[in-house]
Amino acid sequence: MIIYHGSKQIIKKPVVNGSDEHNDYGASFYLTTDLESAKVWACKHNTPGIVNEYEIRKTEYEKLKILNLTDKEKYSPLNWIAILVHFRKLSGKFRNEYQLYLDWLEKYYIDISEYDVVIGYRADDAYFAFPLSFIQNQLSYDDLERIYRLGNLGVQQAFMSERAIKLLKFIRTRECDDSYIGKYYEIVRVAAKEFEDSISVVKDPYKTYIINMVRGEK
């Protein structure tokens, strides 16, 4: 099984907790099985990047404890949002104003520290606006679920444990050609436009908003 990490530097020996603790799934080593996504992420800042390529034995990988949030039969966008708001920075003002909804989301939170690998959609700031808008009662759950299922920023795998990291064997690096510079922001612009379109429409009484979901369980 080949897996990739887009970066500005060669990383022959990945480490756990090497990234920002406020990333989507906390401080871990983020990878993807999609080479194109890795190249786009490597050139995120409009500068050339590289892709680190690793090999992992599938038989060993399958022995790891894996949380696959993209499994639609087991998990919903609410699990994804609950994890995102747990790790992402939220202002004190936002927390105070929407504490009721944040508390309600807590029951969908999954303790990912128990897992070796977390598989889930990449959020980033442009896409994080959607779950925040849902919590603010501006975006319906119907629209949130549709956007979530699209996964336009791709699927990432967060390697959370030493056990998982040690299974990665560095193979080589791949350079990204200049055509990838700026691609990330093209995706972001599309996301921003979709976000504006989603919240600018009049609320649809036939759609479900977070306030309906919270009230429905009281």
Query: Is it the case that residue 218 has pLDDT exceeding 60?
Result: no
Give counts: helices (H), strands (E), the chain: 10, 7
The reported pTM is 0.88
| C-alpha neighbours within 13 Å on the C-beta side of residue 170 | 11
Helix (H, G, I), strand (E, B) or coil at 55: strand
Among 65, 80, 61, 59, which Cα is nearest to 123's? 80
Q: For the segment 134-164, what is each residue's pLDDT rounded down to a tens digit? A: 999 988 998 888 777 666 667 899 999 999 9
